[in-house]
A and B are shown apart, each in its own frame.
Chain A
Amino acid sequence: MRSFSYQKATDPGAALRALNAAATDSRPLTEAAAQPLAGGTTLLDLMKLDVMRPASIVNITPLARTWSAVDAGVDGLRLGALAKMSDVAAHPEVQRSYPVVADSLKLAASPQLRNMATLGGNVLQRTRCSYFRDVSYANCNKRNPGSGCAAMDGVNRMHAVLGTSNQCIATYPGDFAQALIALDAMVEITGASGTRSMPFAQLHKAPGNSPQIETSLQPGELISAFTVSGRWPRSLYLKVRDRQSYEFALSSAAVALDVQDGVISDARVALGGVATVPWRAREAEALLKGRRFDDGLAQRVAEAAFADATGRRHNGFKIALGRRVVARALQQAVTMEI
């Protein structure tokens, strides 16, 4: 860890001013001189690893007074960005009407981390790619654009099979984001010029030719809330991993269905552990809509979800695994008692 200056922002205005003051150049957001600190469960790790080297830290936890509310009403859900993962996972109305949200939070990390980590920080957590997180590897296009990718032909069992580019195959590690993208959530972003709202699906950027740019957030902007419209009681998050708890997904699926008289009227399928960004499997969803569910359909949907997947040496298994996870998640969602 390198020395840095520290300040605590007592209100959004102060936080934005502090972040903006340092946002003077064109570096990617993750390289900006000033970084906001909330739960600190990602940022402090990356600073200790010397991957992130901010010159100043702006502690935004006091903003929780206004940015941590959980409102679940008849027409939708609003989650403050500074709400703790554990609080949202335990919220009775979230559990009842948005089980995919509650599950995705509950199955992530450990109780200690969920008690610290905030929703906004959670969706912005950075990849667990071992080569990205170890600065002694020179080749990382995310850390050093143009330096190459050590993971491409290295140890890549945990890496992505969807949304990859020839620059980067690092997996987006989170769980909650899959729930948000499946439910067509909106993300509310507050900056110096006010608050804007955009589809959550537009927040993360696939690596393409610039894997160092991970989101569409601009320097000096903060996520202030997430919103979901409607209710999704028939939804779940299935997470498959090497051990029972406290581990990132090898493959996961966030599934939400609306079934009327045995016919699927709406379907959402998002994938985790297998893609470079929170991944919505829209082709798969299209196969479901208007159909009656059976195992054959589940197989076709699973095939469609991974039609464009590309495996490398150690992660090719994720394609077959991902298909099984999608099919199983759909089977479970269809038979959910709601």
Chain B
Amino acid sequence: MTTAAPEPKGNMGQPVPRYDAVAKVTGRATYASDTPLANPAYAFLVTSAIAKGRIDGFDLADARRVRGVIEIFTHENAPKLKESKLFSNGGYASTTIQPLKSADIAHDGQIIAVVVADSYEAAREAAYRVKVNYAAAMPAATFDSPGATAAAAKGQNGQFKEDPRVGDFARAFDEAEVKLTAAYETPTQHHNPMELFATSCAWTGDDLVIYEPSQYVHGLKNGVAGQLGIDADKVRVVNPYVGGAFGSKGSMTPRTAIIAGIARRLNRPVKLVPTRDQGFTIATYRAETRHEIQLGASRDGRLLALRHEGMEVSSRPDPYCVGGTKTTTRLYACANVDSLVSIVRADRNTPGFMRSPPEVPYLFALESAMDELAVKLAMDPIELRRINDTANEPIDGKPYTSRSLMACFDAGARAFGWSQRSPAPGSMSDGDWLVGYGCAATCYPTQMAPAAARVRLQRDGRTRVEIAGHEIGNGAYTVIAQAAAERLGVPLEKVTVHIGDSDLPPAPVAGGSNSTASTCSAVMMVCDKVRQRLFRALLPNEGLADRAKETVGIGQTPATQAARSGQPLDRDKAFEALGADVVEDYGEWKPDGAPLDSFHAMHQGQMRMVGGDKMKGAIAYAFGAEFVEVRVNRFTHEIRAPRLVGAFAAGRIMNPRTARSQLMGGLIWGMSSALLESTEIDARTARYVNDNFADYLVPVNADVTDVKVIMLPEQDHRINPAGVKGLGELANVGTNAAVCNALYHATGQRIRKLPARLENIEI
């Protein structure tokens, strides 16, 4: 076993290499814009240079003169599209701002024209020659901008139903012996997946095929069909590989229906590859947030009062919010809790999911505040968390299905060498560098959604699994193949997996870290159906009475029992008994607590995601503990984070290799979100300024010298048949707080606004 392929511990699968590894490293993996099209036209977007106002007119003469230009679409001649509701209000769209509909401009970088030409180069040159006359109005950029308006999230966002509270916060805080009130801020951030927001649309008669990186092919299919006013059966979305997504490709953005409409108008396939900077405004982002945390505690460290107020920015028309108080109010034992989430509307594009949307900003606030409280109590920050560890969440009193938070802290602390930390700030150094150790908790809700799968097993063991899951770098192909191989008892190399195509049985969005839990649960269920048919053939003496019981759901036949147990199947004998060479089955799986309309919604590309704090009678989260060593140069104040350690427990680990890779990437991103990443907004114009990879900083190899991932064995039978909690979004949570807690330890200076940069260090 190598570092990259950790030896499996209890309840972990084998660290098999990625199913798609060779295809990816040899360039054979086909991404959306790699897909060959017959005689395509090329689209290039023109985006607005103002954030608010109207288009007074275009001068297209110069652009039209470019050889190869076919047509230039503006609001005056673009195909008409139907409106789409926001995904959180029963629709599919990432935004309700529909470009090319009118002369109005609602945000910076809004699509205002699409140039289509015979070549990419001609389309681009013509786009550069489009002249636009604007009637600009004064935009509101962000918090505190004149014209920005604030209101409580509850009542405007369909997915934010309640501000969690319990007990009497005001009195408990008032009476607490030790009090902390602190404000925190996180910046705007953009996903910047390597693969751009490409889309290609090709019609054959009334049938449309869309090649586009999507985290939710069934959602996109239904959403685009709705906008085009056609039957969803006429639309197919294909994307066997997605080159990074991180939430940005989860819901439908306006570009797709526009390009599909243009392709229909031109009767020719149209291919769009937007630029990196256009990606900042034609898709979504993580909005900036502000927080106020109040903690009241007893001298011995028990939390008595906790209040978390969060403010988030969204666009004018859309009430997007992440509302992370659902997590931060439930993480620790505390009898008196209050919270409030507000949305501030500004002249911006609508934000959206970005890896661990609620937890990254909200746990930065809470886990920084816990560290501040530990300092006030002169207590080790791990001990403060141990004192307030709880088996039941405090708001509704529901038990965590499993919770290994302190086990993670202990394992992480050992691996990191936490005991070597001398607690006084500024007390550790190495040559020119002040050294700081910090830690923080991470957690992420265990979520699941209905999924369907088709499994076909041949007598020779060859197995074909079909499910419209998504390979976004998460290892979906690999773990789905492992799930099927394990249940069917066939060698892994005999399993082929087909995902990333809306013609396959529907699976939910590859988001909310639900993908492995949902797809593997569905695949395992269908594998059991296949096994059941084979066991039935093997057990011909099974009584009719047993069958009758099974059909009315009050008993289990021996075949069912055998299918659901780990009992090995003598495949040859079973196929012999069955008198066939192939068994195929299809099934639809839904998690406990999924609403009655789940399967209907699933086929319409609408998710009914359950889990986390929304389970009945329980609450399900994955947990972890993260440790960071920072170094601050005493002369130049440069900040580096050379060492990251994370210990995680997330139920069954399907594949320690792909899981480690996910967790390692998360730790690095978490560090990045603390020290580097920030989309700068020009306050006067409400425009993103550093909208490129040169100015939007992410870590380079030299910044990441030592990352250690520890996976703790954990079993949880309550969550789903696969026993999987999901960990894609677990590791980049809390890292930002751990970095700032380490900075405090190194320098004695508390950084409450991200990113932490050298100019914020005053020593």
Residues on A facing B (Cβ under 8 Å): 1-3, 50, 110, 128, 130-131, 134, 136-138, 150, 153-155, 157-158, 238, 240-247, 250-251, 317, 321, 324-325, 327-328
Contacts and interface: CB of A to CB of B under 8 A. Distances in A.
Interface residues of B, number: 33
Contacts of B638: 240-241
B701 A321 contact: no
A317 B757 CA distance: 11
A240 B758 contact: yes
Interface stretch (B423-431, B587-595, B682-690): B682-690
Contacts of B694: 128
Contact of B700 (A136, A137, A244, A327): A244
A153 B702 contact: no
A155 B689 contact: yes
A317 B697 contact: no
A130 B695 contact: yes
B694 to A, nearest CB: 7
B699 A243 contact: yes
Nearest to A248: B694
A243 B674 CA distance: 12
Contacts of A158: 695
Contacts of A136: 47, 49
Nearest to A53: B128
A154 B689 CA distance: 9
B690 A155 contact: yes
Interface string B662-680: 0000000000000110001
B636 interface: yes
Given A155-B680, A321-B758, A244 B690 contact: no
Interface of B: 47, 49, 121, 124-125, 128-129, 277, 635-638, 640, 675-676, 680-682, 684, 689-691, 694-695, 697, 699-703, 757-759
Contacts of A130: 680, 689-690, 695
A238 B633 CA distance: 13
A137 B49 contact: yes
Nearest to B698: A243
A274 to B, nearest CB: 13
Contacts of A245: 700-703
A317 B675 CA distance: 17
Given A240-B636, A243-B700, 19 more contacts: A1-B121, A50-B128, A110-B700, A130-B689, A134-B691, A150-B682, A155-B682, A240-B638, A240-B758, A241-B638, A242-B697, A244-B700, A244-B703, A245-B702, A247-B700, A317-B759, A321-B636, A324-B636, A324-B637
Contacts of A241: 638
Nearest to A240: B636
Given A250-B758, A325-B636, A242 B700 contact: no
B759 A128 contact: no
Contact of B125 (A2, A240, A250, A321): A2
B636 A3 contact: no
11 contacts: A3-B121, A3-B125, A138-B49, A153-B684, A154-B689, A240-B636, A243-B676, A243-B699, A245-B701, A246-B702, A327-B635
Contacts of A2: 125, 128-129
Contacts, number: 80
Contacts of B695: 128, 130, 158
Nearest to A316: B759
Contacts of A251: 636
Contacts of B691: 134
A237 B16 CA distance: 47
Nearest to B432: A328
Contacts of B675: 242
A130 B689 CA distance: 6
Contacts of B689: 130-131, 134, 154-155
Contact of A321 (B637, B676, B690): B637
Contacts of B49: 136-138
A242 B676 contact: yes
A154 B636 contact: no
Nearest to A245: B702
Contacts of A153: 684
B429 to A, nearest CB: 16
A327 B637 CA distance: 13
A181 B699 CA distance: 31
A246 B758 contact: no
A120 to B, nearest CB: 22
Nearest to A327: B635
| Pairs of residues from A and B, 10 with the lowest C-beta to C-beta distance, nearest first | A317-B759, A244-B702, A136-B49, A245-B702, A328-B635, A155-B689, A155-B680, A240-B636, A130-B689, A50-B128
A247 B697 contact: yes
Nearest to B636: A240
A3 to B, nearest CB: 6
Nearest to B49: A136
B759 A321 contact: yes
A138 B136 CA distance: 13
Nearest to A50: B128
Nearest to A331: B635
Given A321-B636, A321-B637, A324-B636, A1 B757 contact: no
Contacts of A327: 635
A256 to B, nearest CB: 20
Contact of A1 (B125, B681, B690, B701): B125
A244 B640 contact: yes
A260 B203 CA distance: 80
Contacts of B676: 242-243
Given A130-B690, A243-B676, A324 B702 contact: no
A110 to B, nearest CB: 8
A279 B702 CA distance: 28
Contact of A324 (B635, B640, B682, B703): B635
B682 A154 contact: yes
Contacts of A157: 680
A242 B702 contact: no
A1 B697 CA distance: 25
A218 B684 CA distance: 38
A150 B638 CA distance: 28
A68 B296 CA distance: 69
B136 to A, nearest CB: 11
Contacts of B697: 242-243, 247
Contacts of B690: 130, 155
Nearest to A135: B128
Contacts of B680: 130, 155, 157
Contacts of A154: 682, 684, 689
The residue among B121, B635, B637 with the most chain A CB atoms within 10 A of its own CB is B635
Contacts of A244: 640, 700, 702-703
Contacts of B125: 1-3
B684 A243 contact: no
Nearest to A244: B702
Nearest to A158: B695
Contacts of B124: 1
Nearest to A131: B689
